[in-house]
Structure 1
Amino acid sequence: MTRPIARVLAVLEILQRGGTWTIAELARRLDVDERTVRRYIAHLLDLDIPVRSVRGRYGGYRLSPGYRMPPLMLTDEEALAVLLGLVAGRRAGLLSTSAAAAESAVAKVRRVLPEALGRRLDALLEIADFTAPASAARTAEAEVLLTVAEAARDRRPVDLGYLAGHGGASERVVHPYGIVTHSGRWYLTGFDSASEQVRTFRVDRISSVGLRAGTFAVPEGFDPAQRVLTSIAEAPHRYEVSVRIQATPEQIRAVFPPSIATLEELDPGPSWVRARIRAQRLEWLPPLLAALDRPFVIEGPDALRELVRALAGRLAEHAGA
């Protein structure tokens, strides 16, 4: 029969708070009987954890003076994965534990990390934005991600080596305004010296990064997450789609999030909104337009009209079968 390891570790956690704990106190905290507590203590002793039995009226169990759990040995990538997993799980509502338990777990992992690594992770957790509750980003190169996070928090310019999607390499100076995770990727957004505009960069395409001297100011009211979503929605693609939809922006956003479509409210009237979408392929759009279940007018391209007609024909055929 396997031992309930989680409960055994819970006993260790209680004993590490210091003092002597009676069997009755431990049983009450763990919601088990006293015989089970003794089994947990025996298992800790099997693991060579120095638990002392204190006899007498105020007896019980305590850890030997000076005992501490060994330091947690994690690489930068491992520490980053653990902390981001806890943070993302908490924000996504994926953890069955309470918010306090998640915060406590983050604090405990943070406390046993080397000081220098802990400061860098603090910078990332402080500066990072999530575009959606369930974002679970891949860990980019830890050194790059931690460096740009520090720079964003401390308002330090960085020298950036970047490899664009088409394969072109470039060197530039960037003022990092924020770090955002969206749809499984990390993005850096900030002022770019090469284009003299605010740009968005995928962190996994950053080939090198170095801190520069000096500081900068972030424009008042700048929202890194919103900027990343807008940049993704406005990125050049094969098709420029324009559709007028008779619906509220909230109804449209339920199907077309900001990373997919930009919305333009038209003149007052029957609540028409123009949605502009950039896409490499069009086949995925007709089912979403159908899911809106609202009147719409396709302004372009013509290829989308044909795809919508084809979908409508298939639906009518299925309905009549």
Structure 2
Amino acid sequence: MSRPTGRVLTLLELLQSGGTRTIAELAERLGVDGRTVRRYVDHLIDLDVPVEAVRGRYGGYRLGPGHRLPPLMLGEDEAVAVLLGLVAGRRTGLTTATATAGETAAAKIRRVLPRPLAARVDAVLESLAFTEPAGEFAAPDAGILLTLADAVRHRRPVAIRYTDREGRRGDRTLHPQGVVAHAGRWYVTGRDPGIGEDRTFRLDRVADARLLPGSFEAIEGPDPARRVLSGFATAPYRHEVTLRIRGTAEQIRTRLPASIASVTALPGTGSPSPAPEPADAREPDRSDTSEASEASDGPPWLRVEVRAERLDWLPPVLAALDLPFVVERPDELRELVVALADRFARRARRS
């Protein structure tokens, strides 16, 4: 590469780092005079790179918006980071690119890597394993994502066309608070001004989004991620479970995260005694009631509410928590807990 060509590419890399660069700064970094800097800028403009001149005391040059991305100058570490990010993002669903776009972008970066580095990257990709199976997630439309992000930043109302889980289509108005990526899916959360309630929508189900005139006030309350997680915990499911667990919220969250359960303080006293078992429940041993009769200076009793399609996973979770608990509802869960305890007892006696 000739020295002038190399300096032109270096100039492009400096402009791509952002902000306005003065002619004096560019001349010093490139080791040339100001007239040569102007000539290099003209070379970039001839290549359709959108370089803008900024006038004034702190003027100089900056990279302006263009209809296409300018050539990117990536170092070896940067190229590897982008390549691995594309692979991981495609695997976990945390990318807005379609499968084809992600693969072609990764292939382009892989193709321009020096041979020794490419061989080492290939070794990483071949030896890389994920603890979770590859997800089959529908990527959201990049244009819709950009529109919603712009609405969040500038507090602009947005009209969306949405298809719900039952396949019903409709037009909604939203005051978006944030965009959240969770478990391979993308969501937008905000306030529906028509009903005055918080709403969360999956981005891959949004067919169209357009900004509306006007603006809205900042929404008070939890941050967008907490809103999405709490929405999962309170969504309608087949079973509504109510528990009382004696322990701290941090202990409970180790097994029942915010996306699964809501944890609230009990009204009145901070550490009430557990409710008595129904008459038809299995009579516990004396040892079973030792923890339930602890002094009131221990951790408080907290109400935990869970909504689930199935109940069979809850007894093992409660056993793993190893905290005193009372099943308030449903009776079916209490029976599953007793059955699990009986299985444990039989196996312990057998051993």
Q: What TM-score, normalized to structure 1?
A: 0.58
Report the counterpart of residue 254 of structure 1 in structure 2: 254
Asked if the contact 1:137–1:185 (Cα under 8 Å) also holds between the matched residues in 2, the reply is no
Asked if the contact 1:137–1:181 (Cα under 8 Å) also holds between the matched residues in 2, the reply is no
Give the CA deviation at 1:85. 3.9
Q: C-alpha separation between the residues in 2 aligned to 1:207 and 1:311?
A: 46
Report the counterpart of residue 158 of structure 1 in structure 2: 158
Report the counterpart of residue 290 of structure 1 in structure 2: 319
1:305 is matched by which residue type in structure 2?
R
Residues 142-291 of structure 1: matches in 2 within 5 Å?
A: 142-220=142-220, 222-266=222-266, 267-269=269-271, 270=296, 271-291=300-320
The structure having more radius of gyration, on CA atoms, is 2
Q: Structure 1 298/286 Cα, relative in aligned 2: closer, same or farther at 3 Å?
A: same
Give the CA deviation at 1:171. 0.8
Residues 62-211 of structure 1: matches in 2 within 5 Å?
A: 71=71, 85=85, 139-211=139-211
1:268 is matched by which residue type in structure 2?
G
Once the two structures are superposed, residues 66-91 of structure 1 have per-residue CA deviations (whole angstroms, 9 ceiling, x without a partner) of: 7999725xxxxxxxxx69947x98xx
2:340 is matched by which residue type in structure 1?
L
Q: C-alpha separation between the residues in 2 aligned to 1:263 and 1:289?
A: 14
Report the counterpart of residue 31 of structure 2 in structure 1: none
2:184 is matched by which residue type in structure 1?
G
1:224 is matched by which residue type in structure 2?
P
% identity of equivalent residues: 50
CA root-mean-square deviation: 3.3
Q: Structure 1 71/165 Cα, relative in aligned 2: closer, same or farther at 3 Å?
A: same
Give the CA deviation at 1:279. 0.7
Q: C-alpha separation between the residues in 2 aligned to 1:312 and 1:260?
A: 23
Give the CA deviation at 1:157. 1.0
1:165 is matched by which residue type in structure 2?
R
Give the CA deviation at 1:137. 11
Mind listing any 5+ residue stretches in structure 2 that lack a counterpart? 1-5, 12-39, 48-68, 73-81, 90-108, 110-134, 272-295
1:152 is matched by which residue type in structure 2?
V
Q: C-alpha separation between the residues in 2 aligned to 1:211 and 1:70?
A: 28
Deviates most, 294-303 or 259-268: 259-268
Asked if the contact 1:286–1:311 (Cα under 8 Å) also holds between the matched residues in 2, the reply is yes
Q: C-alpha separation between the residues in 1 aligned to 2:186 and 2:136?
A: 7
Q: C-alpha separation between the residues in 2 aligned to 1:84 and 1:174?
A: 35
Q: What TM-score, normalized to structure 2?
A: 0.53
Q: C-alpha separation between the residues in 1 aligned to 2:84 and 2:171?
A: 29
Q: Count matched residues.
A: 209
Report the counterpart of residue 59 of structure 1 in structure 2: none
Asked if the contact 1:245–1:273 (Cα under 8 Å) also holds between the matched residues in 2, the reply is yes
Deviates most, 136-145 or 146-155: 136-145
Q: C-alpha separation between the residues in 2 aligned to 1:252 and 1:180?
A: 24
Once the two structures are superposed, residues 133-161 of structure 1 have per-residue CA deviations (whole angstroms, 9 ceiling, x without a partner) of: xxx99542222222211211121111111
Q: C-alpha separation between the residues in 1 aligned to 2:340 and 2:183?
A: 28
Once the two structures are superposed, residues 105-154 of structure 1 have per-residue CA deviations (whole angstroms, 9 ceiling, x without a partner) of: xxxx9xxxxxxxxxxxxxxxxxxxxxxxxxx9954222222221121112
Q: Structure 1 242/194 Cα, relative in aligned 2: closer, same or farther at 3 Å?
A: same
Q: C-alpha separation between the residues in 1 aligned to 2:171 and 2:9?
A: 51
Asked if the contact 1:137–1:186 (Cα under 8 Å) also holds between the matched residues in 2, the reply is no
Give the CA deviation at 1:229. 1.1
Q: C-alpha separation between the residues in 2 aligned to 1:207 and 1:84?
A: 30
1:280 is matched by which residue type in structure 2?
E
